[in-house]
Amino acid sequence: MDTRPSWDEYFLRIACDVATRATCLRRHVGAVIVRDKRILSTGYNGSPPGQPHCTEVGCLIEDGRCIRTLHAEQNALIQAALHGVSTQGATLYGTCRPCHVCARMIVGAGIERVVFLGPEPEGWAQDVLKGAGVEIVALPYPPETTQPVMSEDLLVR
């Protein structure tokens, strides 16, 4: 019996490791873009280059969300673009479901499959992905992985 993780589990574990580099105090998110079992790009949520990180100055909250950081999916797509790596036909692995902005970017970047931890996306993000024919795979959190928590006392308002 093969006790190795499936490829989806393997790349999700790598996304969890990538998330440890996140600089947002509210949530650590990681993303890995893969094609043909090869990692093309990785990204984590954090401030754009040259900007202060939440870990340095606190989160910048508007409408209940931190607006200081780029999302992990966005950073992974940006890194691929900066290095001339096509994401056409790739799979994006993420530690959480994509938001509606990331869903549009995923579709625009030619990603064909999205695998993430947690429940399926709801509303517009799901509609965008499914409408573009992107396969959505939501896997439960493994026992050794816990959902990120928000620490209200660390937020800048």
Four-residue CA torsion sign, 117, 123, 125, 129: positive
- Indicate which residue of 9, 56, 62, 73 is catalytic: 73
Residue 45 tokens, joined: 């949520």
Long-range contacts of residues 7-13, Cβ cutoff 8 Å, at least 24 apart: 7/37, 8/93, 8/115, 8/137, 8/139, 9/139, 9/142, 11/39, 11/91, 11/93, 11/115, 12/93, 12/95, 12/115, 12/116, 12/117, 12/139
Q: How far apart are the first and last CA of the chain?
A: 53
Q: Answer yes or no: 73 catalytic.
A: yes
Measured CA to CA, the distance from residue 40 to residue 137 in angstroms comes to 19
Question: Which sequence positions are flagged as catalytic?
Answer: 73
